[in-house]
A and B are shown apart, each in its own frame.
Chain A
Amino acid sequence: MLVFFAVWKAVYTGGNITQISGYTLSNVVTYYLITNIFARADVSDQILLSDWIWFGELAKDLTKPWNVKLVQFIMFLGNILFEILMYLPFLILLFLTFHNYVVLPSITYLFYFFITVILSYLLGMSFFSIFHSFTFFYGDQSSNISLIGFLVMGLSGGVFPLDFLPTNVSWIFMHLPFRFLINTPAKVFLEKMSSGDIFRSWVEMIIWMIIFYLIFHFLFKKGLKEFTGVGQ
């Protein structure tokens, strides 16, 4: 965060500019603050399914009278909340350090932001669960999952706001579902989207979520038939 702040401050002051693609320096600093939360509570790191399949832990849940996917989902939520809570003191420290540059949204947009964040985590979970379920068929997927996570971090706007990209490049990014994971929540926080755009984004997020979930559901069901407990 410190480095990104220093870099962008040098860009704005060195280039003697007040805005880049509609973003002021304060907007960029706030954007990185939001990005920091997503990077800390990274969705790709918080799903345990792959490890559970690979090490045979899943067998314990399969013999219990509950839905395995629901258990995984609850654990995912717990992990995300824990990461955010652990990060809270640092977040407050960052906020105090950069408070002159942080832009806060109105109550309405703060509400929109929370809804968007919840949807983005659900979307992220349904997407990454697909790769976790590959463990049933191809063995340990940890390195592939971290690779995809790294790629998605870039595609979702985790390194810079996607609006900074040239139009022809950003067109590609804006048609991929990954922008909903970081870029869209950050833009909502910064009030850079109208209410209509936000509602449209929510609908798109839900559609993508359903698509990814159906793929995951199909793979999970098929994968369970291949599952042999420890030694998978």
Chain B
Amino acid sequence: MIKKYIAVTWIIIKNSYIRDSKIGGYVLSKYINQFIEIFITVTLFNIIFANTKELAGWNYYQVLFLYFYSRTIILFDNFLFKRGINTFAKSMVRRGDYDFFLIKPINSMYLTSISSPQIYFVMTTFFYLILAAYALLHSGVVIHLVSILWFMILSVFGFALYYFLNIICVTPTFWFIRLYSLRNVINKANIFMRYPLGILPYILQFAFTILFPIAIISNIPAVTVFYPPRMLYIVYMIAITIIFGLIANAFWKFGQKHYSSASS
């Protein structure tokens, strides 16, 4: 079964490569966009740290690492799922194109999400990963091998959690077919991944670690890499990913029952 999923994913990615290689100008503009964002954000961080030594106990390079790392997760999601999920929210239900995904012998939630990868985001993901590694090495914190291992494991869970939250955000499309802005909810919310959780008021910390745990996607792996791994954080991250995975899947299936093809 896993073999089938890998094969389908690989075919879709190959198609995406062929498609994206024909729109060089568009891809280039996306790269420039990323460079501008890095330039603006790093300038902002420089201004911030010209006036304070720490942000909620995090030094300049630690905050920089958090930013680059969160962007890595977001862009990897953009590479695999963003366009598919956006298309679902924008037109699949309204036009009835979702029919084509329902009849395939693959989980329709996964197939919808993976349907339109953006291959050029692989490059930017790697670029951000390198920048994150640079910030990590300059953070002045001694990094232990065990921390790196936990960090890698938690990154997988963090990525999965980001995907599940994205799915939960767009699933109401089954009911509100013209509410296009649903696809932007996660884009707006992911700003909470970029900064240390400690800067937020307690009520928002509660909201973004438990109710809609987007802040922990980057914060828990980052804390794990900088400080000795805390089992409580690790267990929480794994548990909440599984819980939100189950919620996303159940919510999707529940929404799907409301789908009645093009007349939806």
Q: Which residues of A contact B (CB under 8 A)?
A: 2-3, 6-7, 9-11, 14-15, 17, 20, 143-144, 146-147, 150-151, 154, 159-160, 164-165, 169
**Cβ A11 vs Cβ B200 within 8 A:** no
CB of B191 within 8 Å of the partner chain: yes
Q: B40: which A residues are within 8 A, CB to CB?
A: 154, 159
B36 interface residue (CB < 8 Å to A): yes
B199 & A6 in contact (Cβ 8 Å cutoff): yes
Q: Is A151 a contact of B52 with CB atoms below 8 Å? A: no
Interface of B is mostly: helix
**Known contacts A143-B26, A151-B36; is-contact A10 B44 (Cβ 8 Å):** no
**Inter-chain contact B48/A11, CB cutoff 8 Å:** yes
Query: Which residue of B29, B30, B39, B52 is within 8 Å of A14 (Cβ)?
Result: B52
A144 touches B36 (CB 8 A): no
Tier of interface size on chain B: 20 to 34
Q: Which residue of B lies closest to A1 (CB)?
A: B191
Asked if A147 contacts B44 (CB within 8 A), the reply is no
- Check B29 against A143 for contact (C-beta < 8 Å): yes
Please, how many angstroms separate the alpha-carbon atoms of A101 and B192 in the complex?
A: 22
Contact in complex: B29, A165 (CB < 8 Å): no
Question: Is the pair B52, A154 in contact by a Cβ cutoff of 8 Å?
Answer: no
B32 touches A7 (CB 8 A): no
Query: Chain B contacts of A164 at CB under 8 A?
Result: 47
Within 8 Å CB of B187, what residues of A? none
Residue contact A14 to B54, C-beta cutoff 8 Å: yes
Indicate if the CB atoms of A10 and B26 lie closer than 8 Å. Answer: no
Q: List 27 A-B contacts (CB under 8 A).
A: A2-B204, A3-B192, A3-B194, A3-B200, A6-B195, A6-B200, A6-B201, A7-B195, A9-B199, A10-B55, A10-B198, A10-B199, A11-B51, A14-B54, A14-B55, A20-B47, A143-B25, A143-B26, A143-B29, A147-B29, A147-B32, A154-B40, A159-B40, A159-B41, A160-B44, A160-B47, A164-B47
A160–B47 alpha-carbon span in the complex (Å): 9
Given contacts A2-B204, A147-B29, A154-B40, contact A10 B47 (CB under 8 A): no
Q: Are A144 and B29 in contact (CB-based, < 8 A)?
A: yes
Besides A6-B195, A150-B36, A160-B47, 15 more A-B contacts (Cβ < 8 Å) are: A2-B200, A2-B204, A3-B194, A3-B195, A6-B200, A7-B55, A9-B199, A10-B55, A11-B52, A14-B56, A17-B51, A20-B47, A147-B36, A159-B41, A159-B43
Q: Is B53 an interface residue (CB 8 A)?
A: yes
| Residue pair B56, A20 in contact (C-beta under 8 Å) | no
Determine the residue in chain A with the shortest Cβ distance to B46: A166
Q: Which residue of B lies closest to A164 (CB)?
A: B47
For B199, the chain A residues whose CB sits under 8 A away are 6-7, 9-10
Residue in contact with B204 in the complex, picked from A6, A15, A144, CB distance below 8 Å: A6
In the assembled complex, the CB of B98 is this many whole angstroms from the nearest CB of chain A, namely: 26
Which residues of the other chain, A, contact B97 by a CB distance below 8 angstroms? none
A145's nearest neighbour on chain B, judged by CB, is B29
Nearest residue in A to B23 (C-beta to C-beta)? A143
In the complex, what distance in Å separates the CA atom of A15 from the CA atom of B39? 24
- For the complex formed, measure the closest distance between the CB of B131 and the CB atoms of chain A, giving whole angstroms: 18
Chain A residue nearest to B191 in the complex (CB)? A3
Instruction: Provide the bound-state CA to CA distance between A160 and B44, in Å.
Output: 7
In the bound assembly, the distance between CA atoms of A2 and B208 in angstroms comes to 12
Provide the bound-state CA to CA distance between A169 and B42, in Å: 14
A159 touches B44 (CB 8 A): yes
Closest to B31 in A: A147
State A109–B204 Cα separation when bound (angstroms): 35
- Please give the distance in Å from B110's CB to the nearest CB on chain A: 28
A7 partner residues in chain B, CB cutoff 8 A: 48, 55, 195, 199
B114 to chain A, nearest CB (A): 23
Q: Which residues of A contact B191 (CB under 8 A)?
A: 3
| A-B pairs with lowest CB-CB distance, top 3 | A15-B52, A154-B40, A10-B199
Cα A17 to Cα B49 in complex, Å, equals 13
In the complex the two chains form, what is the Cα distance from A165 to B195 in whole Å?
Answer: 21
Given A11-B52, A14-B52, A165-B47, A147-B195 contact (CB < 8 Å) = no
Write the chain A residue with the least CB distance to B200: A6
B55–A154 touching, CB < 8 Å: no
Instruction: Verify A150–B54 contact, CB threshold 8 A.
Output: no
Q: Which B residues are CB-close (under 8 A) to A20?
A: 47, 51
| C-alpha spacing A2/B188, complex, angstroms | 11
Within 194-213 of B, Cβ neighbours of A (below 8 Å) are at: 194-195, 198-201, 204
Chain A residues whose CB sits within 8 angstroms of the CB of B55 once the complex forms: 7, 10-11, 14
| Complex Cα–Cα for A159 and B55 (A) | 18
Instruction: Report chain B residues within 8 Å CB of A11.
Output: 48, 51-52, 55
